[in-house]
Structure 1
Amino acid sequence: MGRRMYDLWADIGNTPQIHVIRAIVKELREYSIYITGFNRGEVVQLLEIYGLRGKVFGSDKYDSLLKPYPFVKRSVKLMFRAPRAKMLLSFENAMPIPAGKLKGMKIFLILDNDLKVILRTPIFQRATSWLKRFANFILVPKVAEENFKRYFKEVIPYQGYKEHIYIADFEPDPSFIKMIPVEEYVVLRPESLTSLYVLHNKSLVPEILRLLKREGVDVVYLPRNKKEKKLAEGFKNVYIPPKALDGLNLIYHSKATLTGSGTMAREAAVMGVPAVSFFPRERLLAVDKDLVERGKMLHSREPEEIVEYVIENWNRKRKGDFKTAKRTKKQIIEYIKNNI
């Protein structure tokens, strides 16, 4: 890395983060930017697909007991290997914060998961939330502002959701459907049961797949690892892509998107696609609660209700929320440019 001073260092710690970071750096071409990544989910594949030239440090452990180890190891390594930069940009990712503070950077942190800071979580999750307090700028969705204010002294609210940031410039690719071996399908992403803020150990995926099979519905299934892949064994109506696909096109062309996490359901809801979250907690993120209350997303842990919703909304695509998306992205970009 030498002694070069960059305008911006962006660190990517998980799959959803890459979409946010990619959308932002596209608008900062006049600035020098250094990108680093963590080998978790589809981060490495998507860095290549999107042409983001980044250095990868560390790999995740899909075991809740071992999970803190690679995070701590990577944070320490970044203190020695991170570039010199004026600003660190991170989304929901505390790993680069110690390095950013050590090297005198302004830290620009975008958050949307208020459950991490308002609920009692495992000690390591609480430690990462504490690290986020060292950020100079903390941007949060307006609908989650009050929850974040209970933990951080000062936050900066933005309109919409983080998904708006990168859906703002989305243009559907009509030829994408040729990459899928079925004409009509639903997308299914399992729960992230190893996440530190998810205190649950049973997946609904096998039962949802059984019910979808009974209805003759084909499924594009997106496991993160071998353990999640096993949940779909024996189902002939399931297609597992051999490599990472363009997630937004995959969702846009689907009949419905179902996820045990939150991001893909929000992406679907913002684009007008029937969206289902089976996130394994009774209390939802504020952004998800907002979408449910506005009738843009179903949240349920009942497989029968989920599949019934899919069938009832099979051809009921809504108008996408692209105007809000453009406003949200513009607000974020202007704030970064004004503070680099």
Structure 2
Amino acid sequence: MLVWFDALTAKQARIASVLALEGEGRGYRFIVTCRKYDYVINVLKMYGVNGYCEGEHGEDVRSKLVNGLSRSLKLINVVDDFNVHISLTSPDAFRVAFGLGKPSIALTDTAHAFHVNKLTLPLADRVIAPIAIPKRKLMAYIPHGEEGKVKFFNGVFEVMWVYRFKPNWSEVEQLGLRNGDKYVVFRFEESKAAYYKYSEQSRIAVKAIRFLLKQGFKVIVFPRYDDQRELVASRFNRELSNGNVIIPSKPVDGLQLAYFSSLVITGGSTFAVEAALLGVPSISYFPSTYYTDKYVIKAGAPLIRVKPSRLISSIRKAMEIGKVGLIKDLEDPTGLILNEADVLANEHRG
């Protein structure tokens, strides 16, 4: 069986990598495609998984549409033939799989991503989601009579790699940090995503980084876009020079950085969930609610959800929490996904 996975973000690259490595043990073959965005290809390389990068994203509605359609055409030649397509709702890949008459599995944990869900979930043969996502939210995208294609699991996708994680200090050391250095990892918001309808939080980010520096922390910063990188360079030129603010210039495993850090802060959700599952205090300042965040908090993870305007006070609160142990006993969906892929491939052959 040949499975095609299209990974558009670093998170999706981790999902693809775990599935590819576990799938190999079952005798499955994987082809992983990706988009030239963020740290996607670096994550695949970290797991030793080959990725074929085609196309880019876009910063406005028109460029996203043009780039997406162009990318779909390129993907047809890259994937050639496959038995099952899996992605975390990639419109580019769904267009190809549906057009070629191939079955698709949609992984989703973002009920708020209206545009992407509207394009992909109706075309999926299976939809796999964390039980934290309210059923009614997903069913809004599912055609009448196809409700049975939705499968829930009692965990989050991040469990797939967090439960397989092994600490390695050398990953952190390559950034010039010494054992005993106190540092915080800061990840900017995904301000250009289609679902991000909020004001840019750069002022809050700068304020938070300055506050952390005053508390004696080094700050490792991960911008998502060039304008965010330029902002950090202009506001923290001296701190970048003396090593108190670090923007990694080469691939580094964010999970390793999170594990050895004092705190993780992100304008999204995934990085905070990953760190919190490892037992590291984490803050997500995404302006809206993530159902999966509430779920992992209820499971005992040291995760704080906060409005951007309250970020500084939340940093103080997070420092008081301190680290806890690994959050255990959540369901790993890897087996479920691979089993459903096998079922669909056999049904399609029949």
- TM-score, structure 2 normalization: 0.85
- TM-superposed CA distance for 1:276, in Å, is 0.4
Code of the aligned partner of 2:290? L
> 1:132-165 CA distances to partner (integer Å, 9 max, x unpaired)?
3101010011110412123224211111111012
Pairs aligned (count): 322
Q: Do the aligned residues in 1 keep the contact of 2:299 with 2:327 (CA within 8 Å)? A: no
1:34 aligned to which of 25, 31, 36 = 31
Q: Do the aligned residues in 2 keep the contact of 1:90 with 1:109 (CA within 8 Å)? A: yes
Code of the aligned partner of 2:45? E
Match of 1:193 in 2: 191
Match of 2:231 in 1: 231
The residue matched to 1:195 in structure 2 has which SS? coil
Code of the aligned partner of 2:72? S
Match of 1:99 in 2: 96
Code of the aligned partner of 1:132? L
Code of the aligned partner of 2:164? D
Alignment partner of 1:328 is 2:333: yes
Match of 1:209 in 2: 209
Code of the aligned partner of 1:328? P
Q: 1:333 to 1:168 in 2, by over 3 A?
A: farther
Q: 1:62 to 1:322 in 2, by over 3 A?
A: farther
- TM-superposed CA distance for 1:80, in Å, is 4.7
Match of 1:116 in 2: 113
- TM-superposed CA distance for 1:181, in Å, is 2.3
> 1:57-103 CA distances to partner (integer Å, 9 max, x unpaired)?
10223456633331222123324543211100112322101111122
> 1:163-201 CA distances to partner (integer Å, 9 max, x unpaired)?
012222111114333223232211110111111111123
Deviates more, 1:142-151 or 1:266-275: 142-151
2:165 aligned to which of 165, 170, 195 = 170
Match of 1:304 in 2: 312
Q: Do the aligned residues in 2 keep the contact of 1:164 with 1:322 (CA within 8 Å)? A: no
Match of 1:132 in 2: 121
Q: 1:336 to 1:184 in 2, by over 3 A?
A: farther
Code of the aligned partner of 2:182? E
Alignment partner of 1:70 is 2:78: no
Q: CA RMSD in A?
A: 2.1
- TM-score, structure 1 normalization: 0.88
User: Unaligned regions of 5+ residues in structure 2, if any?
Assistant: 346-350
Alignment partner of 1:20 is 2:15: yes
The residue matched to 2:85 in structure 1 has which SS? strand
Q: Do the aligned residues in 2 keep the contact of 1:266 with 1:275 (CA within 8 Å)? A: yes
Point out the structure with the larger helix share. 2
Q: 1:333 to 1:184 in 2, by over 3 A?
A: farther
2:247 aligned to which of 240, 245, 248 = 240
User: Unaligned regions of 5+ residues in structure 1, if any?
Assistant: 1-5, 118-124
Distance 1:68 1:201 in 2: 22
Code of the aligned partner of 1:78? L
Q: Do the aligned residues in 2 keep the contact of 1:261 with 1:277 (CA within 8 Å)? A: yes
1:86 aligned to which of 83, 86, 93 = 83
The residue matched to 2:91 in structure 1 has which SS? coil
Match of 1:255 in 2: 262
